């Protein structure tokens, strides 16, 4: 049954046509779930169509900017043009439920972008768990400086989940040039090197007064009629 969706190729797996169809169906299901998600009482004024439009816009921007790589790592992963910000914005706007659902959809897009599969759990840590963690920004939707707090928590969580996957599946890939005394922290160093590089650039941009004010205006547009 699994052969309908995945084919082995040079030690990895690639999606078949039915595999792409399955991913598309999952993505469609998540978008429908976001549309039907009932808002909290405090933001009952949010129009569902408007919510779907803003989520789709941010999701598309996150996916497109993930192709613009500032630092491209040799074993996967990259510092991009603020792609994580666009996904964390959704949780910041609409809360944890919508944030996680949209981030899960983004994880499917990332898998579709460059699928690599050793086994089920490796896919979970490299794609599903790691990118869905970007939705944790929804924990800070009403907090002071909630966007920056939510963004930082989300990217640290993503890095941790990538690193756990590194410990489980990639330890034999450590380069010989890496100091042997530090091999125990290699997955952490590898993953946080590009995630924190992008994070630092993004936070500096968000701290610019004009950008900060613009982000608050966008949130007001997103959550009010």
pLDDT at 121: 85
pLDDT at 120: 85
pLDDT at 154: 96
pLDDT at 130: 95
Number of domain units in the chain = 1
Name residue, tokens 């797996």.
13
Task: Provide the domain limits for residue 130.
Answer: 2-223
SS3 141: coil
Q: What is the mean pLDDT of each run of 10 residues along the chain (225 residues)?
A: 55 57 62 53 64 93 94 92 97 93 93 82 92 94 94 96 89 88 92 97 97 95 83
pLDDT at 206: 97
SS3 13: strand
CATH number of the domain at 6, please.
1.10.1760.20
Alpha carbon distance 30, 33 (integer Å): 5
Asked if 152 and 171 touch (Cβ cutoff 8 Å), the reply is no
pLDDT at 12: 47
Alpha carbon distance 48, 138 (integer Å): 17
Token pair for 76: 């996967």
């Amino acid at each position: 049954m699994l052969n309908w969706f995945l084919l082995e190729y040079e030690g990895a797996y690639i999606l078949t046509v039915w595999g792409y169809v399955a991913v598309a169906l999952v993505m469609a299901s998540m978008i429908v779930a976001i549309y039907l998600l009932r808002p909290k009482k405090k933001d009952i004024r949010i129009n569902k169509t408007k919510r779907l439009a803003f989520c789709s816009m941010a999701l598309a921007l996150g996916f497109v900017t993930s192709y613009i790589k500032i630092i491209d790592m040799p074993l996967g992963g990259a510092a991009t043009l603020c792609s994580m910000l666009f996904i964390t914005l959704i949780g910041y706007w609409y809360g944890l439920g919508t944030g996680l659902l949209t981030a899960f959809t983004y994880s499917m897009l990332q898998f579709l972008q460059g699928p690599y599969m050793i086994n089920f759990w490796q896919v979970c840590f490299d794609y599903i768990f790691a990118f869905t963690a970007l939705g944790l920004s929804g924990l800070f939707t009403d907090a002071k400086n909630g966007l920056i707090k939510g963004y930082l928590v989300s990217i640290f969580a993503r890095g941790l989940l990538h690193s756990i996957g590194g410990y489980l599946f990639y330890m034999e890939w450590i380069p010989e040039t890496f100091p042997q005394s530090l091999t125990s922290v290699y997955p952490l160093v590898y993953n946080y090197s590009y995630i924190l590089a992008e994070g630092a650039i993004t936070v500096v941009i968000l701290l610019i007064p004009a950008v900060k004010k613009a982000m608050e205006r966008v949130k007001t547009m997103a959550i009010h009629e």
